[in-house]
Chain A
Amino acid sequence: MTRLGRAPRPAAEVDCDALVVGSGAGGSVAALELARAGRSVTVLEEGPRVGTRELAEADPAASMRRLYRNAGATAVFGTPTIAFGEACAVGGTTVVNGGLLWAPPDAVLHRWAARSGYGGNGPAAVAARFDEVRTRLGMTVQGHGDGNRDSRLLAEAAESLGWRWQHPQRAVRGCLHRNQCATGCPTGAKQSTALTYLPQAEAEGARIVPGTRAVRIGHRGRRVRSVEAVEAATGRRVRYRPRTVFLAAGPIGTPVLLRRSGIHTRTAGRRIELHLNLRTIARFPDTVDAARGTMFTAQVHEHSGLGVLVMPSNLTPGGLGAALASRDPRQVDALLAAQDRLAVFTTQVRMQGPAGIVSAVGGSPLLRHGMTRADHHMLRLAFRRTARLLFAAGAVELLPPTGSAGPLRSAADAEAYCARVRPGDWELVSVHATSGCPMARPERGGVCDEAGRVHGWSGLHLCDASVLPGAPGVSPQGTIMSFAHGIVGRHLEAR
């Protein structure tokens, strides 16, 4: 295996009881639960800590650069190249997501139990933990506001076809529909863990250290002894000496750190599961004004059994321009000039072919995916269903997620597009990655057990999206946090 970077000798040493690496959905739960149990907790976060006022004052482009890893454009190579986005900030991706909070479907949990060989995360156990998350975050059902006409049109179309749809469940309190979910809520309505779990953990004595990147886990034999970190502002190296490490550096960061540290180098990060997003731009005959309203207020679940969900995207001029970048400049100009009649819809598809960390280039992970024939088939199926839905919603023209494809004006056009689109033609985005270090028995490719303990190692727990045995098919924050509560709960019970 290629080594993922090297670390020189650290300059300072810090003793602590529990060290949490990463402050996203999983790390925040670990921080709070450990602090509540009276542990001395330190949380290392690579990204900055950004408050609501700063988010309100920053323009979206500046927030995109500041809050996202690689400014939001990590490449997953393959056919086609997929753009992967995840946050790098205190609160992790909960700062820049839509605040969607779904429990994992029962069928998914049963499938994961069969795959992993562990039965402790069944529907009843996870539902109890999800209830705690829901209560702590103040989950609400997001109805339509004054705007969100794109969501209303989608819901009406679903009803006309007899398809199931739902208002989203969200972790928000008093959403003002500012349409900036993806670059950080400027009003503080979204209940990211930066506004909830982490301040509560601090009130219980936890210490959060932003701008500090963990670079290597030190161990003697198979016992973890230290974590070496670098402060971004000063370049100073610090060695933390915790009794227990909870690793929650994200779906890419956690396996990278394990492999760089010589832990489970053959399994960590070899099989990462993704949700893929197809973006379809729909033109309507009259004004939609899709930039008005929150991220979305309707999600079509009719094909959720296939791992397919359809929902509007929050539209901004820049987001629309970026989505059109592979098209002819004249077409871009014409569409931007008509943006009040446009809406962008996301079709989320669970990918079967895995992605993985194949190597390192200049110390950074190189990601590659292996999209299968079945995935291509599923993308075509998902696009067909989306097109049917959007034409039923009154769209007069669809721009499919292929820059070289012209506008589609009928179901027959959509069918012809699906017949000729090739795997490399899709323009795909992903913002959900899971399963790089799955919770499963060792003989089934697992990296950790049900308590998040890394197989064969002591003093090291995993506690983020990477432990999920697969992609849940729904927005994963609720699943990650429910599993994290289970992991920390089992750890505390065992002490």
Chain B
Amino acid sequence: MRAARTLAASGLPACWGRVYAAMRDRPALRRAVVHTGGSLDRMPRAYRWGTAAALAAFPAAFFAATGRGPRRATPEQTRSGLRRLRSVPGYGQVLRATTALALYGALDGGAP
């Protein structure tokens, strides 16, 4: 569950919970984090390192995009920040992949 901790520390799940109805309630967000973290833990080491680095950079990247931290932004700022970051080559792919895992986990996952 190392990746789940990295993910939680990045503030990205707080953003998901703010803007996606599917992850708004606590159990759903928990399922999202468990599945995303569990999936990342099964990735090859190099991919895990790359993703961990991208997640560690998320607070700074989000701040650069919105002027607010990921835990303090409004829903509109969060949507705008995620939209900008999705368009950054490379970073956008990591964001899309983790969000896809999160939505899958929230909607098709069981109780953690």
Contact = CB atoms under 8 A, between A and B. Distances in A.
Nearest to A424: B89
A65 B39 contact: yes
A61 B100 contact: no
B39 A73 contact: yes
B42 interface: yes
A403 B103 contact: no
A72 B82 CA distance: 24
Interface in B82-101: 82-83, 86, 93, 96-97, 99-101
Interface string A52-73: 0000001111101100001111
Interface in A168-191: none
Scoring A83, A323, A362 by chain B CB atoms within 10 A of each residue's CB, the highest score goes to A362
A319 B46 contact: no
A333 interface: yes
B43 interface: yes
Interface in A270-329: 316-326, 328-329
Given A65-B35, A70-B44, A363-B44, A318 B83 contact: no
B31 interface: yes
B93 A59 contact: no
Given A61-B31, A321-B103, A328-B83, A333 B21 contact: yes
Interface residues of A, number: 38
Interface residues of B, number: 34
A333 B45 contact: no
A316 B99 CA distance: 16
Nearest to A60: B108
Given A62-B110, A322-B103, A324-B103, A329 B42 contact: no
A75 B47 contact: yes
A2 interface: no
B100 to A, nearest CB: 4
B20 interface: yes
A387 to B, nearest CB: 23
A336 interface: yes
B38 interface: yes
Contacts of A58: 110
B79 interface: yes
Closest 10 CB pairs of A and B: A318-B108, A59-B110, A321-B103, A364-B44, A71-B39, A325-B100, A61-B109, A361-B46, A318-B107, A317-B107
9 contacts: A60-B108, A61-B108, A83-B97, A316-B107, A318-B108, A319-B108, A321-B104, A325-B99, A326-B99
